[in-house]
């Protein structure tokens, strides 16, 4: 099963090459196309160059305030999100361990936020491009690290891809339906296995002036390294998360090429007063987005079964 496979394949093989292709005019269609290409890449797509894809220097970008209480402190290919609350920061995913200081810590400081205010680090899944920075944040700021039981085991047993990340000390063990509350803000945790045995997805509120929106944060990524049975589990999780809350109107993930955040950041920078928020796309779009993951994964499972016949 999972632990015997080559892991940490968080992005599909074509992720870096695709960045150079011209995007379709509608950013929502571009986002769905990107999910499809990365979850079900072309057979001739080149293998991922991990070092290049997650190089903090090459992929560096300025941090972004996306909502009044949500800040992007990642890189062009890898996300980390700071959710600010009345009692400190909840950090969602931590990039690679060799990027945590230059990306997350420096990004927070540049935004005027204090990294020492990080109280919780919630890791969506146990691949080292997402848990890599957790140990540093745990040791430096005393942040509590949250992961599912399955993925606490996974990080300790699965082979890592790319430079090996140090493991955080086992801390909070999350199960399906748990919530992390800090001050005035709650993040709901949904167990959505598939990409890893214990992938977590998140639901939480964000504010845009007087308006409150709800983020559906899909914690899983590529399926290329999964076997057909694991891919079936992924599909089931994607369908469950698609249907989980009709109030979700913002889709989000831990790689910008899955949620189209880079073009959305550009649109936000040019947003006219009173204009719609570019990251608020509505529940119908969220459902289409989750369907893109699920449908491509279902195709991948079918192809894997056909290949072994």
Nearest residue to Zn ion, by Cβ distance, number only:
10
Nearer to Zn ion, 11 or 118 (CB): 11
Contact status: 95 vs Zn ion (CB under 5 A): no
* Contact window for Zn ion (CB under 5 A) among 73-81, 82-90, 94-102, 216-224: 216-224
Nearer to Zn ion, 126 or 216 (CB): 126
- Contacts with 162 (C-beta within 8 Å, 6 or more apart), sequence order: 8, 50, 51, 54, 96, 128, 129
Q: Of 102-131, which residues contact Zn ion (CB under 5 A)?
A: 127
Using CA atoms, how far apart are residues 34 and 63, in angstroms rounded to an integer?
A: 22
Least separation in angstroms between CB 291 and Zn ion: 20
**Spatial CA neighbour of 41 closest among 214, 190, 225:** 225
Q: Of 24-83, which residues contact Zn ion (CB under 5 A)?
A: none
Would residue 134 be called left, alpha or beta, if left means φ above 0 and alpha means ψ between -120 and 50 degrees? alpha
List Cα–Cα distances, 22 to 19, 27, 86, 194, 285, in angstroms. Answer: 8, 11, 41, 31, 22
Using CA atoms, how far apart are residues 292 and 86, in angstroms rounded to an integer?
A: 36
**241 to 260: interface string for Zn ion, x by CB under 5 A:** --------------------
Residue 303, number of CB atoms within 10 A of its CB:
13
Contact status: 10 vs Zn ion (CB under 5 A): yes
Q: Of 218-237, which residues contact Zn ion (CB under 5 A)?
A: 221
Least separation in angstroms between CB 73 and Zn ion: 19
Nearer to Zn ion, 197 or 221 (CB): 221
Least separation in angstroms between CB 124 and Zn ion: 8
Least separation in angstroms between CB 7 and Zn ion: 8
Nearer to Zn ion, 54 or 141 (CB): 54
Number of residues that bind Zn ion (CB under 5 A): 3
Is the torsion defined by CA of 193, 194, 196, 199 positive or negative? negative
Least separation in angstroms between CB 162 and Zn ion: 11
Least separation in angstroms between CB 161 and Zn ion: 9
Using CA atoms, how far apart are residues 56 and 43, in angstroms rounded to an integer?
A: 28
Least separation in angstroms between CB 220 and Zn ion: 7
First to last CA, the chain: 20
* Contact window for Zn ion (CB under 5 A) among 7-15, 91-99, 176-184, 273-281: 7-15
Q: Of 125-184, which residues contact Zn ion (CB under 5 A)?
A: 127
Nearer to Zn ion, 113 or 158 (CB): 158
Strands in the chain per DSSP E: 64-67, 70-72, 81-85, 88-92, 118-122, 144-148, 172-174, 179-182, 185-191, 200-208, 211-218, 250-253
In 3-state terms, the chain is what percent helix, strand and coil (to 5)?
A: 40, 20, 40
Residues lying near Zn ion in the complex (CB under 5 A) are found at 10, 127, 221
């Amino acid at each position: 099963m999972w632990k015997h496979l080559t892991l940490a394949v968080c992005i599909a093989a074509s992720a870096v090459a695709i960045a150079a292709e011209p995007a379709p005019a509608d950013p929502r269609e571009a986002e769905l196309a990107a999910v499809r290409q990365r979850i079900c890449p072309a057979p001739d797509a080149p293998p991922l160059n991990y070092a290049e894809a997650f190089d903090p220097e090459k992929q560096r970008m300025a941090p972004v305030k996306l909502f009044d209480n949500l800040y992007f402190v990642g890189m062009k290919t890898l996300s980390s999100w700071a959710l600010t609350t009345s009692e400190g920061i909840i950090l969602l995913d931590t990039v690679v361990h060799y990027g945590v200081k230059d990306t997350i810590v420096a990004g927070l400081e540049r935004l005027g936020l204090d990294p020492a205010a990080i109280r919780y680090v919630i890791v969506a899944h146990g691949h080292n491009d997402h848990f890599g920075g957790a140990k540093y944040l745990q040791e430096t700021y005393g942040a509590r690290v949250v992961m599912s039981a399955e993925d606490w085991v996974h990080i300790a047993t699965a082979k890592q891809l790319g430079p090996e990340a140090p493991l955080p000390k086992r801390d909070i063990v999350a199960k399906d339906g748990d919530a992390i509350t800090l001050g005035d803000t709650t993040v709901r945790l949904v167990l959505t296995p598939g990409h890893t045995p214990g992938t977590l997805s998140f639901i939480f509120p964000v504010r845009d002036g007087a308006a409150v929106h709800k983020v559906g944060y899909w914690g899983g990524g590529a399926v290329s390294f999964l076997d057909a049975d694991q891919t079936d589990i992924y599909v089931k999780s994607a369908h469950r998360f698609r249907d989980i809350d009709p109030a979700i109107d913002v889709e989000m993930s831990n790689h910008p090429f899955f949620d189209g955040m880079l073009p959305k950041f550009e649109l936000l920078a040019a947003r006219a007063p009173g204009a719609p928020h570019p990251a608020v796309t509505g529940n119908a779009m969220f459902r289409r987005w989750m369907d893109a993951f699920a449908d491509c994964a279902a195709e991948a499972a079918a192809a894997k079964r056909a290949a072994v016949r």
